[in-house]
């Protein structure tokens, strides 16, 4: 499984539950379309996080880079209804930071013949 991470803060005046609702609509739509496997939204607790990471953390699970690329293509098409869902989340956030991680070790990993 590959996990696309997004850390962000909310723009001034944006309610946390409004953000939660919009994230659910957007990512729920992508999941219903089979474009992602799942997602999770978390919030920093007690101010504990490395400097520069936002208060909110989204984790979007995809089977592989092909599924992620298909999801990106779908959103990049800028067509309704996904355009409205994307805008309703994107317009609420600031200071977004992105990362892509994978489960490890990879399921295809073979041990014992490495040359490094």
pLDDT truncated to tens, each residue of the chain (116 aa)?
A: 999 999 999 999 999 999 999 999 999 999 999 999 999 999 999 989 998 899 999 999 999 999 999 999 999 999 999 999 999 999 999 999 999 999 999 888 888 888 87
pTM of the model: 0.91
Ordered strands of the 93-102 beta sheet: 38-43, 56-62, 2-10, 93-102
Torsion region of 94: left, alpha or beta (phi above 0 gives left; psi -120 to 50 gives alpha)? beta
Q: Does the residue 89 lie in any domain?
A: yes
Task: State the residue range of the domain holding 87.
Answer: 11-50+64-102
Q: Does the residue 28 lie in any domain?
A: yes
Measure Cα distances from 43 to 17, 39, 54 in Å: 12, 14, 9
Q: What is the C-alpha to C-alpha distance for residues 58 and 65, in angstroms, rounded to an integer?
A: 18
Total domains present in the chain: 1
- 24 contact partners, CB below 8 Å, separation of at least 6: 41
Q: Does the residue 112 lie in any domain?
A: no
């Amino acid at each position: 499984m590959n996990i696309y991470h997004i850390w962000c803060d909310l723009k001034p005046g944006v309610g946390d539950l409004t953000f939660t609702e919009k994230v659910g609509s957007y990512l729920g739509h992508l999941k219903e379309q089979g474009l992602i496997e799942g997602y999770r939204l978390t919030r920093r607790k007690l101010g504990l996080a490395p400097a520069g990471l936002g208060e909110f953390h989204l984790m979007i699970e995809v089977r592989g880079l092909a599924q992620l690329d298909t999801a990106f293509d779908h959103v990049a098409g800028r067509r309704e209804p996904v355009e409205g869902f994307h805008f309703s989340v994107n317009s609420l956030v600031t200071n977004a930071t992105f990362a892509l991680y994978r489960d490890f070790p990879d399921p295809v990993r073979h041990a014992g013949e490495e040359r490094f």
